[in-house]
Amino acid sequence: MISPKIVVTGKIPQPGIDLLSTAGEVWAWNQDDPIPHEIRDAQLANADAVVTILTDTVDDAFLTAAPNLKIVANVAVGYNNIDVDACTRREIMVTNTPGVLTDATADLAMGLLLMVTRRLGEGERLIRSETPWKWGMFMMLGSGLQGRQLGIIGMGGIGQALALRARAFGMSIVYHNRNAVDSKIEQALDARRCDLDELLATSDVVSLNCPYSEDTHHLIDAEAMRTMRNDAVLVNTARGPIVDEAALVEALSTGVIGAAALDVFEHEPEVHPGLIGLDNVVLVPHLGSATVETRTAMATLAARNVVGFYDGTGPLTPVN
Ligand code: GLV
């Protein structure tokens, strides 16, 4: 059999490239800047497999440029950047990288939760601005997590891993998910399933851990924020457009909710200018899976999916 041509459209860790090289001839974009479309399309013209990153949009135009394509291996757990139905219609397999980034993303969500409730971003800004300060009994008081309720929207692996961490900090857990999770897991986490309105109305912290889709677009809009407590904290490590960012700016500025911590943005990499000047929001640049170990594991899993596709064992984590 002729060796398949595998195109990698973004820079990924070398172990992923090494593994892909065992399955075919690899062409990889190896710069930090996004691949220009002309270069991408020229490579796609004779690609059999493509390894994508979450900033690639795999839509009809992409697929039309790749007439021989058989598999799209996304190096991300989320695959909202891929038109899966269009791939399925063209009999193209899609894979993602679930599991390997669960701990890193849950760690980041917990970190953001601590940052926002203990006002660590504000503290950093104070010191770095060289503003004179001295210790004060009432200086920059935040709130503790013990005895507070965490409401998790999306109780997949990352939601469960966050619940485990939050339990260690003394929080109680409610969750909203299409299906109930296994009762053993519910018991271990002491987590109770409830409807979205109850979760929003009663939680001290609301964390978004669900996939982004048409169903979750602007799930947290102005009305949802009005349902939340006015001291509630919103944490988003899932996808930006789950939150109506303009409505969030309004809610944070007018005391409709207390604070927010965001790893993802509605029009990423742009951040709503109204968020920049607010002290009650923590902003970080989509770092959920950003550890050396996790990004290496993601690249390796995506590569294994391609290898499995060609050696007949099948991809480990197919989407369609
Ligand atoms: C990161 O956001 C991912 O979906 O892997």
Every domain range in the chain assigned CATH 3.40.50.720: 5-100+292-311, 102-283
Cβ atoms within 10 Å, residue 240: 21
Provide CATH code, domain 5-100+292-311: 3.40.50.720
Amino acid letter, residue 132 = P
Cβ atoms of 245 and 276 within 8 Å: the answer is no
Ligand 1, CB within 6 Å, residue ranges: 54, 76-78, 101, 288-289
- Given a cut of 70, whether residue 295 has pLDDT beyond it is yes
Q: Give the active site residue among 239, 272, 295, 304.
A: 239
pLDDT in tens, 25-50: 999 999 999 999 999 999 999 999 99
Q: How far is the C-alpha of 29 from the C-alpha of 69, rounded, in Å?
A: 18
Q: Whose CA is nearest to atom 3 of ligand 1?
A: 76
- Average pLDDT on 91-115 reads 98
Mutate to test the pocket of ligand 1, among 94, 289, 295, 305 (most ligand atoms within 8 A of CB): 289
Paired with 193 in beta bridges are 175
Q: Cis (ω within 30 of 0) for the bond into 269?
A: yes
286 is an active site residue: yes
Atom number of ligand 1 nearest to Cα 101:
5
Q: Give the active site residue among 122, 198, 250, 268.
A: 268
Mutate to test the pocket of ligand 1, among 12, 51, 54 (most ligand atoms within 8 A of CB): 54
Mutate to test the pocket of ligand 1, among 96, 101, 319 (most ligand atoms within 8 A of CB): 101
CA of 297 to the centre of ligand 1 (A): 13
Cβ atoms of 114 and 143 within 8 Å: the answer is no
- Average pLDDT on 175-194 reads 97
- Average pLDDT on 239-247 reads 98
Q: Whose CA is nearest to atom 1 of ligand 1?
A: 76
Predicted TM-score of the model (pTM)? 0.95
pLDDT band at 248 (very low <50, low <70, confident <90, very high): very high
Of the options 3.10.105.10, 3.30.230.70, 3.40.50.720, 3.30.1330.10, the CATH number for the domain spanning 102-283: 3.40.50.720
CA of 21 to the centre of ligand 1 (A): 24
Atom number of ligand 1 nearest to Cα 298:
5
- Given a cut of 80, whether residue 201 has pLDDT beyond it is yes
What mean pLDDT, rounded, does the chain reach? 97
pLDDT exceeding 90 applies to what percent of the chain? Answer: 99
- Given a cut of 70, whether residue 99 has pLDDT beyond it is yes
Q: Give the active site residue among 176, 272, 286, 295.
A: 286
pLDDT band at 1 (very low <50, low <70, confident <90, very high): low
CA of 287 to the centre of ligand 1 (A): 9
CA of 220 to the centre of ligand 1 (A): 19
pLDDT for 2: 81
The two structure tokens encoding residue 165: 């961490």
Q: How far is the C-alpha of 226 from the C-alpha of 65, rounded, in Å?
A: 45
- Given a cut of 80, whether residue 115 has pLDDT beyond it is yes
Q: How far is CA 83 from CA 78, 213, 319, in A?
A: 12, 11, 11
- Given a cut of 80, whether residue 250 has pLDDT beyond it is yes
The two structure tokens encoding residue 34: 């996004």
Alpha helices in 207-264 (DSSP H): 222-227, 245-253
- Given a cut of 70, whether residue 141 has pLDDT beyond it is yes
- Given a cut of 90, whether residue 167 has pLDDT beyond it is yes
Atom number of ligand 1 nearest to Cα 78:
4
